[in-house]
């Protein structure tokens, strides 16, 4: 969804003009090749009655954003498109008939596909969702996708009780870390599987310090999995790894798949389906948001979710997400790091820049 602040240059007007930057692509391919930065000065646009102007402050690079630019993600904005699907902004101007937002409100996009790697946007008020002002920038910019995915997966599939065990792979991912922390807040134990790496002990300590009950490498997990009894398994890897975490599920356990880092299909042994009534499901935050836009009950749950997460943030129960701040001009390094490293998120920050 492109805003009215289109990608292409408007006439420069010395009075009341400001600079806007955006990272866009007009064809699918390798993000390092197809993403371009446009810095334009733009005239002050007048807003339609139901539109708002948002000044984005920060927008991350998530794996889905990369897939989208590569052309392999089901949400496909019309090209040319601005990259990025989540971000945090502040309402700077509102149209004459806008009722849901006020100047100064903190907002995130209401849905996936908005195009958030930009310093400002003008769009219908319904395309933005108001969030708690107490949420600091780094949290707000990374609120919509990862913590919410973790939250929904922990709440919507199995009625977990305190002391129940949740098993997950990809535990060092952004979602994985949120799962660890939210599970801890809710009283659940987490068994976390991560890829082996050089400073593995450091990583284990770190994850344990944010609430992980136990952290295993894939090899260690295979040796210990028999003794693990879980009620919920969260999978973002696929292949043999998913087979392994699913094998810990007890009667009526559920494995939820939300990603597939190994690019291998999800695997499930026959026996547990037949003898233990195991269920496999999937979860996609974008789809949940889409449904919640059309369903009052789900919209209520969205408000509840943001409110609860905001409280946790303010009470310092969720640690700051690990991010590295990037100016839009650094987009090539940012994209490269996003595609090659894990555990730290690239966050584009946009200066509050008005002339």
Query: By C-beta, is 24 or 288 nearer to other proteins?
Result: 288
**Which CB sits closer to other proteins, 202 or 273?**
273
User: Six-digit token pair at 67?
Assistant: 């897939």
**Contacts of residue 6, Cβ cutoff 8 Å, sequence gap at least 6:** none
The answer to whether 243 contacts other proteins (rule: CB under 8 A) is yes
Q: Per the structure block, which two tokens stand in for 265?
A: 């299909």
272 binds other proteins (CB under 8 A): yes
Q: Is 73 a catalytic residue?
A: yes
Tell me if 258 contacts other proteins by CB under 8 A.
yes
Please answer whether residues 62 and 85 qualify as being in contact, where contact means their C-beta atoms are separated by less than 8 angstroms.
Answer: yes
- Measured CA distances, 114 to 43, 121, 336 (Å): 22, 10, 22
Given the residues 25, 28, 73, 331, select the one marked as catalytic. Answer: 73
The rounded distance, in Å, linking the Cα atoms of 68 and 90 is: 25
In whole angstroms, what is the distance from residue 63 CA to residue 9 CA?
30
Shorter beta-carbon distance to other proteins: residue 95 or 239: 239
Stretch of residues binding other proteins (CB under 8 A), selected from 16-24, 25-33, 105-113, 265-273: 265-273
User: For other proteins, which residue of 55, 87, 238, 328 counts as binding (CB under 8 A)?
Assistant: 238
- Give least dist CB 84 to other proteins, A: 19
Nearer to other proteins, 160 or 243 (CB): 243
**Which residue from 199, 270, 296, 355 is in contact with other proteins, where contact means CB under 8 A?**
270
Q: Is 241 in the site for other proteins (CB under 8 A)?
A: no
SS3 250: strand
Binding mask 275-314 for other proteins (x = CB under 8 A): xxxxxxxxxx--x---------------------------
Per CB under 8 A, 76 contacts other proteins: no
- Tell me if 210 sits within 8 A of 184, measured CB to CB: yes
> Based on CB atoms, which residue is closest to other proteins, 24 or 73?
73
What is the C-alpha separation between 158 and 235, in angstroms, rounded? 15
User: Is residue 108 within 8 Å of 128, Cβ to Cβ?
Assistant: yes
Q: Which residues contact 137 (CB under 8 A, 6 or more apart)?
A: 57, 58, 88
Total chain residues near other proteins (CB under 8 A)? 28
Tokens at residue 96, please? 């004459």
Binding site for other proteins (CB under 8 A): 74, 238, 243, 257-260, 265-284, 287
Which residues belong to the active site?
A: 73
């Amino acid at each position: 969804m492109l805003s009215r602040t289109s990608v292409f240059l408007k006439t420069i007007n010395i009075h009341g003009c400001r600079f806007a930057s955006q990272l866009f692509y007009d064809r699918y391919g390798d993000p390092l090749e197809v993403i371009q930065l446009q810095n334009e000065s733009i005239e002050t646009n007048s807003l339609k009655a139901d539109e708002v102007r948002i000044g984005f402050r920060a927008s991350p690079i998530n794996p889905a954003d990369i897939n989208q630019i590569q052309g392999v993600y089901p949400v496909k904005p019309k090209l040319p498109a601005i990259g990025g699907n989540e971000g945090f902004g502040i309402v700077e101007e509102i149209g004459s008939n806008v009722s849901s937002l006020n100047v100064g409100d903190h907002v995130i996009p209401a849905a996936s596909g908005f195009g958030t790697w930009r310093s400002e946007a003008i769009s219908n008020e319904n395309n933005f969702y108001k969030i708690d002002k107490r949420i600091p920038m780094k949290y707000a910019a990374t609120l919509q996708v990862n913590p919410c995915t973790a939250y929904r997966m922990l709440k919507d599939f199995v009625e977990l009780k305190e002391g129940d065990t949740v098993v997950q792979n990809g535990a060092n991912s952004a979602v994985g870390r949120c799962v660890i922390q939210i599970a801890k807040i809710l009283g659940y134990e987490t068994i976390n599987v991560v890829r082996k790496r050089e400073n593995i002990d450091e990583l284990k300590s770190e994850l344990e310090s944010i609430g992980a009950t136990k952290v295993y490498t894939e090899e260690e997990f295979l040796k210990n999995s028999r003794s693990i009894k879980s009620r919920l398994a969260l999978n973002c890897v696929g292949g043999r790894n998913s087979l392994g975490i699913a094998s810990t599920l007890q009667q009526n356990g559920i494995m939820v798949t939300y990603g597939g880092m190994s690019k291998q299909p999800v695997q499930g042994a026959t026996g547990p389906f037949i003898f233990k009534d195991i269920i496999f499901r999937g979860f996609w935050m974008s789809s949940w948001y889409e449904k919640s836009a059309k369903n009052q009950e789900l919209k209520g749950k969205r408000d509840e979710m943001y409110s609860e997460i905001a409280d946790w943030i303010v009470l310092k129960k969720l640690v700051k997400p690990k991010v590295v701040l990037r100016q839009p001009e650094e987009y090539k390094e940012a994209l490269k790091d996003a595609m090659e490293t894990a555990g730290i998120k690239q966050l584009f920050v946009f200066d509050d820049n008005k002339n």
